[in-house]
Structure 1
Amino acid sequence: LAKPLWNGTAVQEFTLEGFPAIQHLGKVLFLVHLLAYLASITGNAVIVTITCADSRLQTPMYFFLSTFSFFECCFISAVIPKLLVIFLLGRQTISFLACFIQAFVFVYLGAAGFLLIAVMSVDRYMAICKPLHYPTIMNLKTCFLLVTACCVLAFILITGPLVMVSQLSFCGPNVIPHFFCDLDPLIHLSCSNTRSVEMLAFVIALLILLTSLIITIIAYSNIVVTIVRLPSAKERQKAFSTCSSHLIVLSLMYGSCVFIYVKPKQRNRLNSNREAALVNTVVTPLLNPVIYTLRNKQVQQALKETMCRLKISR
């Protein structure tokens, strides 16, 4: 073993196991995940760019959507590049410090993203159910404050467990049965007593996910009731189509994260967590641009006009 670093820790690097059962398909998997990654980055980057460039899209809804898209770009960039290296080159090692940085960025952006989803749900509720009060309440200052609150609250909530995990002793083994550094696999590799940090991580995950989920359910329930009361059948169909698309993405996000994190004891289920994490880090970021924005006619029109302007400028 290497010379101890601190708190009896002897491990200087970890090995990410990835997907050993299908590692022989590394180049094919590299190509598939590279295309998915580039599509996710492109789609989310387009949302951010169009929202900033087109004055018609500078509304609270698109402000929150562009912020969420920016979070998604950072979120997947914390994980997928290393997975691509594993598939293409088979380089599975990651340094002790890099592992904890990756875990921090992943958990922080994930927590901030779920809090932002709750804010976005409230924004839609206000726009659809309280249209007369909406322009007054959801002004630019309120939007900035809400996004800032999501970022600060996420940082406060996840710092405690991450600091506790960083102070655990890691004296071997150093193989993480996952394709990135996450809190639970790290906790289970420690040779310290991890009961308190496990329980804290579980409680905070439960708090973030359930709070966000409850707010989202209440908001969308009220939206559905309002939609049902619309006099026009065409308006009802259009509204339900949009809501159902949003709910599909939300179901994938909440379902995968509840499966991964909201279980106090996970030692026997880390392998199955990998597949759920793949949904959360590859599938939903790919669907978000399509579901939330790119299907929107207003965004499509703004995108077409921007493309036309770019062609003319050339």
Structure 2
Amino acid sequence: MSSSTFWNKTTVTELFLVGFGQLQHIKNFIFALFLIAYLATITGNMLIMALITTSPKLHSPMYFFICNLSACEIFITTTIMPNMLYILWGNGGFVSFHGCITQHYLGASAGTVEGLLLMVMAYDRHLAICNPLRYTSIMNNTTRNHLAAWAWVAGYTVMVMLTVTICNLRFCGLNTIDHLFCDLAPLLQLSSSDTSMIQMEVLFITMFLSIVPFLLIIISYISIFSTILRISTLAGRQKSFSTCSSHLASVSMYCGSVFITYTVPSHQNLLKITKVLSLLYTVVTPLLNPIIYSLRNQEMIDCFRHYVAFIHGK
């Protein structure tokens, strides 16, 4: 469909995002809380990327994937949070229709990339623990680069299909979204078209890019735990488990927040619940991931201390 045909069918040119309109009396507190979370998320993830990029000790596939994950978290946060802060400060705000669609595409794509990166990281940990003798030959620079590139390209490509389907829907009359950003469920609520096709498409994409990676992660960790339990010494078991504990915590947060959010039915009376739950994967997970990977990783702590000592020494 040509762009002119699409825009002729679409009568809604602006959407009003309500935000937390019912909490105006604590607007300043909520705004400050979200602003601090945003700045902490960007700072934490950029610090991790800087440490991994500049520390030769951290130039391994595991940290390469953590660096990609931090970049993905920055993309998600930057796509959602600035406009969310604008909406919170003004007790609601207008966004153009195509701006809303663009925000949904970029946010959903980055979220998909995160899930795929977590699956790739599970495969990396599986190779390192279950096949240590072949790890360096299999997970070489070419392999790790291809796996990371595949995750990024797949995430942003697949979401194009969903975005095109949304653009073919009719949006007439109502233009108010009771949400903090442009998410799929409230967008579909505004459409005057039959959304059954796009709901089937969402189900397929969710199965392919969420449930399948999650199952592969589960299978990888079953094999990992089985291998760890066969290690004869307690110290050996603890060392092996410590290399994947941070990743396991990230998987639990990501999968838990996404599954909880998207298994809540998108009926009008449940959209408020979805609005609150969506903060789990747009605010909480990007904020906590840097903490998980820094505080639970001794090598990163050592590199950070080295740089702090170097700066003080100068």
TM range (shorter): over 0.9
Q: TM-score, normalised by structure 2?
A: 0.92
**SS of aligned partner of 1:15:** strand
Indicate the residue corresponding to 1:98 in structure 2.
99
Distance 1:267 1:81 in 2: 26
Q: Which letter maps to 2:75?
A: C
The question of whether the paired residues in 2 share the 8 Å contact of 1:228 and 1:236 is answered with yes
What's the C-alpha RMSD, in Å, of the aligned pairs?
2.0
Q: Which letter maps to 2:69?
A: F
Indicate the residue corresponding to 2:84 in structure 1.
83
Distance 1:264 1:196 in 2: 16
Aligned ranges for residues 79-228 of structure 1 at < 5 Å?
79-228=80-229
Structure 1: runs of 5+ lacking an equivalent: none
The question of whether the paired residues in 1 share the 8 Å contact of 2:117 and 2:151 is answered with yes
Distance 1:12 1:170 in 2: 9
For residue 129 of structure 1, report the CA deviation from its aligned partner: 0.9
The question of whether the paired residues in 1 share the 8 Å contact of 2:41 and 2:74 is answered with yes
Q: Structure 2 vs 1, CA of residues 7 and 65 (structure 1 numbering), >3 Å: closer, same or farther?
A: same
**SS of aligned partner of 1:6:** helix
The structure 1 segments of at least 4 consecutive aligned residues displaced by more than 6 Å after TM superposition are: none
For residue 292 of structure 1, report the CA deviation from its aligned partner: 2.4
Distance 1:146 1:5 in 2: 36
Distance 2:178 2:99 in 1: 17
For residue 288 of structure 1, report the CA deviation from its aligned partner: 0.7
The question of whether the paired residues in 2 share the 8 Å contact of 1:48 and 1:69 is answered with yes
Tell whether 2:297 aligns with 1:302: no
Q: Structure 2 vs 1, CA of residues 266 and 129 (structure 1 numbering), >3 Å: closer, same or farther?
A: farther
Aligned ranges for residues 46-65 of structure 1 at < 5 Å?
46-65=47-66
Q: Which letter maps to 1:19?
A: F
The question of whether the paired residues in 1 share the 8 Å contact of 2:14 and 2:175 is answered with yes
For residue 239 of structure 1, report the CA deviation from its aligned partner: 4.4
Stretch moving more, 48-57 or 299-308:
299-308
Q: Structure 2 vs 1, CA of residues 151 and 69 (structure 1 numbering), >3 Å: closer, same or farther?
A: same
Distance 2:247 2:85 in 1: 29
The question of whether the paired residues in 2 share the 8 Å contact of 1:178 and 1:185 is answered with yes
Distance 1:16 1:286 in 2: 24
The question of whether the paired residues in 2 share the 8 Å contact of 1:202 and 1:261 is answered with no
Distance 2:209 2:284 in 1: 21
Stretch moving more, 115-124 or 191-200:
191-200
Distance 2:68 2:303 in 1: 18
**SS of aligned partner of 2:95:** strand
What CA deviation, in whole Å up to 9, does each residue of 1:239-285 have, x standing for no partner? 44665554343222112212233567544432211121111111111
**SS of aligned partner of 1:193:** coil
Distance 2:136 2:170 in 1: 53
Aligned ranges for residues 35-46 of structure 1 at < 5 Å?
35-46=36-47
What CA deviation, in whole Å up to 9, does each residue of 1:208-244 have, x standing for no partner? 1111101111111111112212222233345446655
Indicate the residue corresponding to 2:291 in structure 1.
290
Q: Structure 2 vs 1, CA of residues 184 and 91 (structure 1 numbering), >3 Å: closer, same or farther?
A: closer
The question of whether the paired residues in 2 share the 8 Å contact of 1:202 and 1:264 is answered with no
Q: TM-score, normalised by structure 1?
A: 0.92
For residue 163 of structure 1, report the CA deviation from its aligned partner: 0.7
Structure 2: runs of 5+ lacking an equivalent: none
Q: Structure 2 vs 1, CA of residues 225 and 23 (structure 1 numbering), >3 Å: closer, same or farther?
A: farther
For residue 134 of structure 1, report the CA deviation from its aligned partner: 0.5
Distance 1:135 1:240 in 2: 19
Q: Which letter maps to 1:51?
A: I
